[in-house]
Structure 1
Amino acid sequence: MFRYTLMRLGVFAGCLGVVWGLVYLGVFPRGFGESNGMWIVLLALVISAPISFVVLRGVRDRASVQIVERVDRMKANLDANRNQEDEAVDATGPQGQTS
């Protein structure tokens, strides 16, 4: 997951550099007044999102498999703990008295 995040940030940084260069050269229009920085960042986000979706598909799929495995392990641990608690309650008998 960390690898995907770093790669996603790399794609965004690359797009940010390209967009900044294109705005500086006048290919893309500048923002209004002081909004030029925000315009560049938003345009880079819009451009980098579909690029990341296509280019990083394999990395994203591997990261999602890891997340699913981690969630399944946590569910199994919770079920095991729940079963241990149920067994402890059953062993104490009714009203919390030991048999």
Structure 2
Amino acid sequence: MLRYTLMRLGIFAGCLLVVWGLVYAGAFPRGFGDSNLLWVLLLSLVLSAPISFVVLRKERDRASVQVSQRVDRMKANIEASRSQEDEAVDEAAQSQGQARTSS
């Protein structure tokens, strides 16, 4: 998951450098007043999203598998914990029931 995130940030940084260069070269229009930085960041984000979607498909699938395995392990742990609690409650109820019948 960290690898995917770093790769995505790398693509964004590359797009940021390219867009920054193109804006200052005059190929893309500049933002109004002090909004130039925001314009460059927004344009870089818009360009990097589809590039990341296509280029990082395999890495995203690997990250998805890792996340689903982690979720499955957590569900199994929760279910095991729940069954242990149920057993403890049943044993307590049985021991209370036996104590009442013997008194």
The alpha carbon displacement at 1:76 in A equals: 0.2
Residues 60-79 of structure 1: matches in 2 within 5 Å? 60-79=60-79
1:97 maps to which residue? 96
The TM-score, its normalising length taken from structure 1, stands at: 0.95
The TM-score, its normalising length taken from structure 2, stands at: 0.92
- Equivalent residues of 1:19, 1:43 under 8 A apart: yes
Tell me the number of residue pairs that the alignment of Structure 1 and Structure 2 aligns: 98
Residues 5-84 of structure 1: matches in 2 within 5 Å? 5-84=5-84
Aligned-partner residue type, residue 72 of structure 2: D
Whole-Å Cα distance in 2 between the matches of residues 98 and 40 of structure 1? 73
Mind listing any 5+ residue stretches in structure 1 that lack a counterpart?
none
The structure with more radius of gyration: 2
The alpha carbon displacement at 1:98 in A equals: 6.5
Whole-Å Cα distance in 2 between the matches of residues 98 and 34 of structure 1? 77
The alpha carbon displacement at 1:97 in A equals: 1.9
The alpha carbon displacement at 1:70 in A equals: 0.1
The alpha carbon displacement at 1:15 in A equals: 0.1
Whole-Å Cα distance in 2 between the matches of residues 75 and 83 of structure 1? 12
1:87 maps to which residue? 87
- Equivalent residues of 1:4, 1:56 under 8 A apart: yes
- Equivalent residues of 1:4, 1:63 under 8 A apart: yes
Identity of aligned residues (%): 71
